[in-house]
């Protein structure tokens, strides 16, 4: 992969987009690739839309922010509105299909706009807490910045101590990761 892959992940504070971004770029870095992650933050410590700008490349990375992303994932109505500016004809735009009243706000110029029922799946099939891991699975499937085994390794590295305390968490998180990939696979 010669090109730099640019990802903007956006959600409400507490949805875990920053931790997912951190784990993903960490996985790429562990593979020896160049990765850059910058959290977009405001004055307040909590609340508000949180955007994570990630770039992964085989070369040194230029400016930490970018105008247009290869992949945008938006997890709330405000996040959708906030991130359409990063979309152009090369962008895959993924949003959670449970978000209401955003049809008019979805980007019209994207390469693909994909709604996935990540929140529903998390709540009904897995656990609300792994919502962001489903999103991570989707992001990895859409970009292949790392492959699934490496993504699992990264989760293990980050959450291993929790897995030790509660062994059920490991398959739960890994299933969530795979489920996220499945949700987007057919639609890309």
> Where along the sequence are the contacts to another protein (CB under 8 A)?
22, 25-26, 29-30, 34-43, 60-68
Shorter beta-carbon distance to another protein: residue 90 or 98: 90
56 CB-near residues (< 8 Å, 6+ apart): 4, 5, 7, 25, 28, 33, 34, 35, 36, 143, 145
Question: Least distance in Å: CB of 75 to another protein?
Answer: 21
Shorter beta-carbon distance to another protein: residue 21 or 130: 21
Residue 8's H or E segment, with its range, is: strand 5-12
Shorter beta-carbon distance to another protein: residue 68 or 170: 68
**Burial bucket for residue 79 (CB in 10 Å: 0-12, 13-18, 19+):** buried
Helix axes 148-165, 169-185, angle to 10 degrees: 150
Question: Least distance in Å: CB of 63 to another protein?
Answer: 4
Shorter beta-carbon distance to another protein: residue 14 or 62: 62
Length of the chain: 188
Question: Least distance in Å: CB of 39 to another protein?
Answer: 6
Question: Least distance in Å: CB of 109 to another protein?
Answer: 16
CA distance 167 to 111: 40
Question: Least distance in Å: CB of 62 to another protein?
Answer: 3
Shorter beta-carbon distance to another protein: residue 56 or 99: 56
- Whose tokens are 């499945």? That residue is 182
């Amino acid at each position: 992969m010669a090109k730099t892959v640019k990802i903007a992940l956006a959600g409400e504070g507490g949805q875990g987009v920053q931790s997912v971004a951190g784990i993903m770029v960490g996985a790429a870095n562990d593979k020896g690739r160049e990765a850059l992650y910058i959290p977009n933050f405001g004055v307040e410590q909590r609340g508000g839309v949180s955007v994570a700008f990630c770039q992964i490349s085989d070369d040194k990375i230029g400016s930490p922010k970018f105008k247009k992303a290869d992949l945008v994932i938006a997890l709330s109505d405000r996040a959708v509105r906030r991130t359409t500016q990063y979309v152009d004809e090369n962008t895959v735009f993924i949003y959670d299909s449970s978000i209401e009243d955003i049809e008019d706000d979805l980007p019209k110029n994207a390469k693909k706009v994909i709604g996935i029922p990540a929140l529903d799946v998390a709540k009904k099939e897995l656990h609300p807490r792994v919502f962001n891991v489903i999103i991570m699975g989707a992001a990895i499937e859409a970009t292949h910045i790392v492959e699934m085994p490496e993504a699992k390794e990264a989760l293990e590295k980050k959450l291993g101590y929790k897995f030790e305390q509660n062994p059920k968490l490991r398959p739960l998180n890994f299933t969530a990761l795979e489920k996220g990939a499945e949700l987007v696979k057919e639609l890309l």
